[in-house]
Homo-oligomer: A and B are copies of this chain.
């Protein structure tokens, strides 16, 4: 193919940068649900000693079959274990993930509060925001909070 032919039309520079930004945002969003489940299961076990699909569904605001289906994926990905009609439990990997998610959630909420977001909105928005906060940003948030106190 001849390299000499000039661009036919506008020819934008392709910008792989922007494309990868969008891709990454979408990919991040994919694991978000898993993170929510894992964190919630960990919380439920902490609160009442067990995590039942029905409680998970209720807390997440979804139907119980939806919860059960997602729990299957959790099992498939090695984050949880569950035997039929018994509760759900986290694997080592699941617990680790839960702890990381919990820590990140705290930092995000604290940061929102620190910049003046009302408590209610901070909790609300953090639920969505946290899944898109990279490690780099998380560290920056931490430093900012440190400075502030």
Segment at the B interface, from A23-31, A68-76, A90-98: A23-31
User: Is A129 close to B, CB under 8 A?
Assistant: yes
For A20, give its contact among B15, B61, B141 (CB under 8 Å).
Answer: B61
In this complex, how many residues of chain A approach chain B with their Cβ under 8 Å: the count is 51
B115 adjacent to A136 (CB under 8 Å) = no
What copy number does this chain have within its complex? 2
Q: A12-B47, A22-B61, A23-B61 are in contact. Are A115 and B129 (CB under 8 A)?
A: no
- Cβ of A117: which chain B residues have Cβ within 8 Å of it? 136-137, 140-141
A48 adjacent to B12 (CB under 8 Å) = yes
A125 adjacent to B112 (CB under 8 Å) = no
A-B contact pairs, 22 of them (CB 8 A): A12-B44, A12-B55, A15-B58, A15-B59, A18-B59, A19-B58, A19-B59, A20-B61, A24-B124, A24-B127, A111-B115, A112-B140, A116-B140, A117-B136, A117-B141, A121-B134, A121-B136, A121-B137, A125-B132, A128-B131, A129-B129, A132-B132
- What residues make up the interface of A, taking CB atoms closer than 8 Å to B? 10, 12, 14-16, 18-25, 28-29, 32, 36, 44, 47-50, 55, 58-61, 111-112, 115-118, 121-125, 127-129, 131-134, 136-137, 140-141, 143-144
